[in-house]
Amino acid sequence: MFAVYATVTIFASLLYGSAAVVYLIGHEFPKAQLDMKRLPRSWVPVLGTMLAAGALGLLGGFAVPMLGMLAALCLVLYFVGALLAHLRVGSRKLANWAGFFATAVAALGVNLAYYWT
């Protein structure tokens, strides 16, 4: 079970960490996404910081299990908010969202299965 937990956690950390870098370096993609969702561009560094905190929290879960579980839960909630932002403007392009959300759910699931079963 540890191999599954470690694999999913490390994969999720790399995924969200790389997304955080894209947000924090000022890449045009997150800005275009916020424009499409009619959200202020001033949110880009905040959202990037939230993704970075989630990635680091998942890795911190190896030392402090509750931290990893809370980070995974917060990432799930982050992507529920992203879904609501998509639906609010009528966007049905949810393939990328689904991958990010599924990874967050998987990270939460393996955290719960490994530490709290």
Cα–Cα dist 94/106, whole Å: 18
If DSSP codes are grouped into helix, strand and coil, which group holds residue 108? helix
**Of 81, 85, 77, the residue nearest 104 (C-alpha):** 77
DSSP state of 64: S
Count of structural domains, the chain? 1
What is the extent of the structural domain holding 67? 2-115
Give 117's contacts (C-beta < 8 A, 6+ positions apart).
none
pTM of this structure? 0.94
What's the pLDDT tens digit per position in 20-58?
A: 999 999 899 999 999 999 999 999 999 999 999 999 999
- The DSSP secondary structure of 8-51, one letter per residue, reads HHHHHHHHHHHHHHHHHTT-HHHHHHHHHTT--GGGHHHHHHHH
What is the pLDDT, as a whole number, of residue 59?
98
